[in-house]
Amino acid sequence: MTRLSPGLWSRRIAEELLHWIKEDAPYIDATTEALGIRDDCAEMIIRAKSSGVASCTSEAAEALELLGLRVLEHVESGQWFHEGNVVMRIRGSARDLLLLERTLLDLLMYASGIATATQRLVLMARRLNSRVRVAATRKTPPGFRLCAKLAFRHGGGDTHRWGLSDALIVKDSHVEIIGSLEEALRRAVERKSFAHKLEVEVSRPEDAVLAARLGADIVMLDNMSPDEVRQALRLLEESGLRDKVLVEASGGIGPWNIAVYAASGVDVISTSYPFYHPERIDLSAEMKRVEQC
């Protein structure tokens, strides 16, 4: 087998796997130790019991190689698998495989659930607006940001910003502290790096025009109804500013209304729905003893 060349994400996932395993087995794996299982060679086959979009499989495969295991096959991240398919086949120390079995299954099931839910949203949105991007929010479970954002991307979505360091987003909380949207934008435009985009959250259609005039690159229409979104787009068009900004709709968007927002003509729809409502993906692990690791 050609050895995988690990990337930064895979190294991070290897570190996080070790952290999660420590949570599951803070001292020892009591059962494995009691049974005297140590350096026996084994193979673990992860098989799909439902269909879905694979996520974090490629990155986890590289991470497992870094941890001294051999990944003989796996479904690539972003590819569909179906009930009965082998999602991953791993060979190595039986003690190590038993230690990580539950943690690895949980990671792959949850990430694949996010990816599958994301892909369904993307398909729903693009039936009405072929150019719209469906983007992730930062509402990820603490400690799972990397895998959750990767899963959103594997489902065909856009990661949006990974964290607070990626871009400037002036939100209502900032405006409340500073005192006015105009002053907040003045400071942001004056101090932002040339490498950063400036996004501004607004809650009224007329403020979308103000934000665009004051230098925003992206205008986020926060918790606006579809009618208000269309009004904001119309005001930007009438002001000659529509082509100067990206327009993002955000807040309370899921499968029940994403098509309506996509049809409005926005450039981006951001949602946390797949993080809170991942598809139910079921994977199981089969273990067998082998002669060689």
Sign of the alpha-carbon torsion through 265, 266, 267, 271: negative
Number of residues that this document lists for the chain = 293
Strands 86-93 and 41-48: antiparallel
Q: Which domains does the chain show, CATH number per domain?
A: 8-120+279-289 (3.90.1170.20), 128-276 (3.20.20.70)
Placement of tokens 């996004």 in the chain: 199
How far is residue 139's CA from residue 123's CA, in Å, rounded to a whole number?
A: 22
Instruction: With beta carbons less than 8 A apart as the criterion, state whether 225 and 204 touch.
Output: no
Q: What is the mean pLDDT of residues 126-136?
A: 97
* C-beta neighbour count of 30 within 10 angstroms: 9
Residues assigned a catalytic role: 102, 139, 171, 201, 222
pTM: 0.92
DSSP state of 234: H
**Residue 1 confidence class, pLDDT cut points 50, 70, 90:** very low
pLDDT above 90 covers a percentage of the chain that reads 88
Looking at every residue in the chain, the average pLDDT score rounds to 94
* Residue 68 Cα distances to 96, 132, 143, angstroms: 9, 42, 24
* Residue 4 pLDDT: 46
Tens digits of residue pLDDT in 212-256: 999 999 999 999 999 999 999 999 999 999 999 999 999 999 999
* Residue 112 pLDDT: 98
The answer to whether residue 2 scores a pLDDT higher than 70 is no
* Residue 293 pLDDT: 83
The SS3 assignment for 127 reads: coil
Tens digits of residue pLDDT in 139-166: 999 999 999 999 999 999 999 999 998 8
Placement of tokens 């405006």 in the chain: 175
